[in-house]
Amino acid sequence: MPLSISFGGQSLSVIADKIEAAALTQADILYGLKRQKARILDRTARGVDLNGGAFAPYSTKGPYYYYPNKGAKPGQRRASAAAFGKKIGAGTRTRLGLKFASYAAFKASMGRGVVDLLGPKAPHMLQAIVVKTDSASAGTIGIYGPEADRATGHNTGFGHLPKREFFGWGAGDDVEMMKDLDTIMSARLGDLF
């Protein structure tokens, strides 16, 4: 008679097959990366960088001029500036735009008390975050197109922008990613037994 070992009435080879069937999939990696994207967006909305520190404040140097609808004809630009000024109830009208005491005053006029890196209108760089997977073991989170330059400037502190490192893996993100993947694996393994 052959010697066999079983677990819960099932042979170890059956259990090994079930565990292999429960292995990470490309969809699992996509889920984990989307959860990381959500963490990036959440902490950015709270004005927190990837290391848990507060973002550098918006500039209080002034004045700051905002020109909505830059690519339009002058008449359309004036109308856009008037509509935007009426909507937010702030700013001094200029010929084609609005004047604010500073960039911080401009953002405050839109109800933004926290440095959240959102532009005055969509689309903006945070909406351009894309998640891709290549396999069950590889994937990327990136920002592409013209928004990538803006994001790089904020992330690294390029030119007149202070460094506001919002995009990347922060302290504890790897632990949270492992928790996300562990939850998926545990659920899948639980369904197999």
Encode pLDDT of 163-188 as tens digits.
999 998 887 888 898 888 888 888 87
At residue 35, the pLDDT reads 92
* CB of 47 closer than 8 Å to CB of 116: yes
| Residue pointed to by tokens 């339009």 | 72
What pLDDT does 24 receive?
78
Rounded to 5°, angle at Cα 77 from 72 and 81:
145
pTM (2 decimals)? 0.79
Calpha distance 29→135 (Å, rounded)? 8
Whole-angstrom distance, CA of residue 61 vs CA of residue 170? 31
List, for residues 50-95, the tens digit of each pLDDT value. 999 999 999 999 899 999 888 888 889 889 898 988 888 888 898 8
